[in-house]
């Protein structure tokens, strides 16, 4: 089996540390017990070679033998097909994981990320657009809280869908947005208590700190 290589930045500023998306891939690889190596690309000078692997100049990407895959969602699905610890093999189980994986990215993160950008900038303007964005996030969190009241993990057993959903909700918690959503908050605590998350998180922090 080919060696797996995870590529991320060689260094990033303090703020995003612990949230750079290589974390999602590290977490999945640790859950699956798949051996891998981490490589760094320059954060400051992103050359043509970088854009060949990641067309937006972002990270991460995964090299699996002849394959080079970008987008953390696509990478996690690819790893899910290699390990039953990340995604079941039967059609129903796969469909369950897949729908929640996309829900994390395209229904929840799509609301949460722009909302977090405003908070990051300290922009508290109450314009109609900003207000709609706020309501959009609250509606998503309300529905997720209802879902998570009744289940430990999104698709039966723990899966890549939980890695993405917990990582997205972790960003909300970081900006104090889960205080009225106890089931979401408990879910984030449950997910981030897993040894695979803790190792992935510590490894990301150590990787960036080593370049300071």
Rule CB under 8 A: say whether 52 interacts with a second copy. Answer: no
Candidates 3, 16, 67, 209; binder of a second copy (CB under 8 A) is 67
Rule CB under 8 A: say whether 107 interacts with a second copy. Answer: yes
Does residue 25 contact residue 82 with C-beta atoms inside 8 Å? no
Candidates 60, 73, 88, 177; binder of a second copy (CB under 8 A) is 73
The window from 39-47, 120-128, 173-181, 199-207 that contacts a second copy (CB under 8 A) reads: 120-128
Rule CB under 8 A: say whether 106 interacts with a second copy. Answer: yes
Does residue 27 contact residue 163 with C-beta atoms inside 8 Å? yes
Candidates 12, 70, 134, 205; binder of a second copy (CB under 8 A) is 70
For a second copy, the closer CB: 66 or 212: 66
CA 125/CA 128 separation, integer angstroms = 9
As a whole number of Å, the end-to-end CA separation of the chain is 34
Binding site for a second copy (CB under 8 A): 51, 55-58, 66-67, 69-74, 77-78, 91-92, 95, 98-99, 101-103, 105-107, 109-110, 113-114, 117-118, 121-123, 125, 127-130, 132-133, 136, 139-140, 143-144, 146-147
């Amino acid at each position: 089996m080919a060696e797996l290589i995870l590529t991320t930045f060689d260094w990033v500023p303090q703020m995003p540390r612990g949230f750079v998306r290589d974390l999602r891939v590290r977490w999945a690889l640790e859950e699956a017990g798949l051996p891998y190596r981490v490589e760094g690309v320059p954060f400051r000078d992103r050359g043509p070679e970088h854009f060949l692997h990641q067309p937006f100049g972002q990270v991460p990407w995964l090299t699996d033998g002849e394959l080079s895959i970008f987008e953390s969602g696509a990478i996690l699905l690819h790893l899910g097909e290699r390990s039953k610890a990340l995604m079941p093999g039967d059609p129903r189980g796969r469909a369950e994981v897949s729908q929640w994986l996309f829900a994390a990215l395209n229904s929840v993160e799509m609301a949460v990320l722009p909302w977090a950008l405003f908070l990051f900038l300290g922009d508290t303007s109450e314009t109609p657009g900003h207000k709609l964005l706020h309501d959009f996030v609250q509606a998503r969190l309300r529905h997720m809280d209802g879902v998570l009241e009744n289940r430990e993990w999104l698709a039966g057993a723990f899966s890549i869908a939980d890695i993405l959903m917990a990582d997205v909700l972790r960003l909300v918690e970081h900006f104090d947005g889960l205080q009225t959503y106890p089931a979401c908050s408990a879910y984030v605590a449950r997910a981030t208590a897993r040894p695979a998350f803790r190792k992935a998180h510590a490894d990301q922090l150590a990787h960036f700190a080593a370049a300071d």
